[in-house]
Structure 1
Amino acid sequence: MSATTQHSGSCLCGAVTLTVEVKSDEVDACHCSLCRRWGGGPLLAIEGAGHLELQGEENVSVYASSEWAERGFCRHCGTHLFYRLKSGEHHAVPVGLVDQGHGWHFATQIFIDEKPGYYAFANETHDMTGDQVFAAFNAGDGS
């Protein structure tokens, strides 16, 4: 995939719709304890390449889950809408919100060192520990 593509979706109740521009067909999994607590399992997300457009923004609640990141969800139905860095340079959207049969590719698993032993994905992926993720963000490459 060479150009960016736009994908749209909505929360369960339809109060919030979103459009996200992505620059790849890659889906990543985050196994950190916060993502697993937030959704009951790993976060399967696509990385936004541009501005995340939200309609019905008055129905979005934002929770500051750490010093550097926050998570958005629909205040009516609880659907998870995004994870973003407070600095505004990165956001991720749960792939299930916009998956309408697109040819996604499972590419990377992060915080693999926090993944519990009761599940495992069979896909061949690039795996990164929490320390490797923080090092990559601090190096400025954002992967």
Structure 2
Amino acid sequence: MSDTLTVTGQCLCGAVSMSTGSMSPSMGACHCSMCRTWTGGPLLAVDCAADLQISGAEYISRFQSSDWAERGFCSQCGTHLFYHLKQQDQYIVPIGFFAVDEGVTFSHQVFIDEKPEYYSFANVTKDMTGAEVFALYASE
């Protein structure tokens, strides 16, 4: 399996399109309360690093969800576009945004300690609590 994938996608109305040659083939799930509120369930997403080409940027609304991150969505149709870690300039994109059906592995889950009891994934993944996530990224 390649270290990265080249993918493209567009929002529901087509106002915003994004592409990258650096999408990680490892998909993760975030169970934090903010992601669940934002998406209506766990956020299933892939890391695109800083390599995200955006067309239609004038249609992107950004919400500062914390001191270190912002969430982007299409101002026309509401499609969730990205979770952006500002200091690292790292874009985490919902996997459903991209037209990709293969070459991706569900590898990890974060904020597993915030996952509600009413759903569960069958995949065997690396699981991290919120404290473990903050400890990992606080050192960067």
Q: TM-score, normalised by structure 2?
A: 0.94
Aligned to 2:31: 31
Query: How far 1:8 moved relative to its partner?
Result: 0.5
1:93 has 2:87 as partner: no
Q: What corresponds to 2:19 in structure 1? A: 19
Q: Which moved more, 1:80-89 or 1:35-44?
A: 80-89
5+ residue gaps, structure 1, are none
* Residue 137 (structure 1) shift: 0.5
| Residue of structure 1 equivalent to 2:129 | 129
CA separation of 1:126 and 1:3: change in aligned 2, threshold 3 A: closer
| Identity percentage of aligned residues | 52
Q: Secondary structure, in 3 states, of the residue corresponding to 1:63?
A: strand
Q: Distance in 2 between matches of 1:57 and 1:49?
A: 18
5+ residue gaps, structure 2, are none
**Structure 2 letter corresponding to 1:6:** T
**Structure 2: how far apart are the matches of 1:50 and 1:100?**
19
**CA–CA distance in structure 2, aligned partners of residues 102 and 9 of structure 1:** 15
1:87 alignment partner AA: Q
The answer to which of 28-37 and 45-54 deviates more is 45-54
Alignment partner of 1:38: what SS? helix
Q: 1:90-128 deviations in whole A, cap 9, x for unaligned?
A: 220000011332221000000000001100001000000
Structural RMSD (CA): 1.3
Indicate conservation of the 8 Å contact 2:24/2:48, yes or no. Answer: no
Distance in 1 (CA, whole Å) between partners of 2:91 and 2:48 is 6
SS in 1 for 2:58: helix
Q: Does 1:71 align with 2:85?
A: no
| 8 Å CA contact retained: 2:29, 2:42 | yes
Q: CA offset at residue 81 of structure 1?
A: 0.3
Greater mean alpha carbon deviation, residues 119-128 or residues 88-97: 88-97
Q: TM-score, normalised by structure 1?
A: 0.92
Aligned equivalents of 2:50, 2:6: Cα separation in 1 = 10
- The 2-side partners of 1:23 and 1:51 are apart by 8
Greater shift after overlay, 94-103 or 27-36?
94-103
CA distance in 2, matches of 1:73, 1:32: 18
Match of 1:112 in 2: 112
